[in-house]
């Protein structure tokens, strides 16, 4: 199963390695990772997505909790939450198909952020499925380059 683990950590050098190494020692590949500061400049949030056995992820979560530089760990996979990825996609575009591409971008509420003679750069945000869906639709035109951030997530409601 796929897990999203949200971790509040001290904003200090070396913390990311500590987190990553607890996953890698189990042979787990981190599928996506994002790190950023929070409203408190001394605290960062790391969001990790991993595929793995329920019990083992729970074990890793407990071990993460023991790290001195880690304040809070939550597995939010089952919590109702909002999650977002951002992708930039450079796609081949000629005069003939440019408008067709822009229509697709519109449907996905993306933005064209750069136009060159033979290509467009598209910015798109959304959950993983949405980004994968537009990627599939743009593929026939020729994707020249694509970058994608890790997922960031927030649990809905007051908690």
Minimal distance, residue 38 CB to another protein, in Å: 14
Q: What share of the chain is helix, strand, coil (3-state, %, to 5)?
A: 30, 40, 30
Q: Which is nearest to 146 in space by CA: 85, 92, 86, 88?
A: 88
Residue 150, SS3 per DSSP: coil
The smaller minimum CB distance to another protein, of residues 42 and 118, is found at 42
Q: CA-to-CA distance for 154 and 156, rounded, in angstroms?
A: 6
Minimal distance, residue 67 CB to another protein, in Å: 7
Minimal distance, residue 64 CB to another protein, in Å: 9
Query: How far does CA 105 lie from the centroid of its chain?
Result: 20
By CB atoms closer than 10 A (0-12, 13-18, 19+), residue 35 is middle
The smaller minimum CB distance to another protein, of residues 63 and 125, is found at 63
The smaller minimum CB distance to another protein, of residues 40 and 118, is found at 40
Positions touching another protein (CB under 8 A) are 9-10, 13-14, 17-18, 21, 25, 59, 62-63, 65-71
Minimal distance, residue 51 CB to another protein, in Å: 21
The smaller minimum CB distance to another protein, of residues 18 and 148, is found at 18
Minimal distance, residue 46 CB to another protein, in Å: 13
Query: How far does CA 115 lie from the centroid of its chain?
Result: 25
Q: CA-to-CA distance for 26 and 42, rounded, in angstroms?
A: 29
The smaller minimum CB distance to another protein, of residues 59 and 97, is found at 59
Q: Within a 10 A sphere around the Cβ of 111, how many other Cβ atoms?
A: 12
């Amino acid at each position: 199963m796929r897990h999203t683990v949200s971790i509040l950590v001290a904003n200090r050098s070396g913390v990311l390695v500590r987190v990553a190494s607890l996953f890698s020692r189990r042979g787990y590949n981190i599928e996506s990772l994002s790190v950023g500061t929070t409203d408190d400049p001394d605290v960062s949030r790391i969001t990790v997505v991993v595929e793995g056995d329920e019990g083992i992820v729970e074990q890793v979560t407990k071990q993460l909790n023991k790290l001195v530089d880690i304040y809070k760990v939550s597995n939010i996979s089952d919590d109702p939450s909002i999650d977002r990825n951002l992708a930039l996609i450079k796609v081949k575009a000629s005069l003939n198909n440019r408008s067709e591409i822009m229509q697709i971008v519109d449907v996905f509420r993306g933005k064209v952020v750069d136009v060159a003679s033979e290509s467009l750069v598209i910015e798109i945000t959304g959950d993983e499925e949405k980004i994968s869906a537009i990627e599939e639709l743009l593929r026939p035109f020729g994707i020249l380059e694509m970058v994608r951030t890790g997922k960031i997530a927030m649990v809905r409601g007051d908690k």
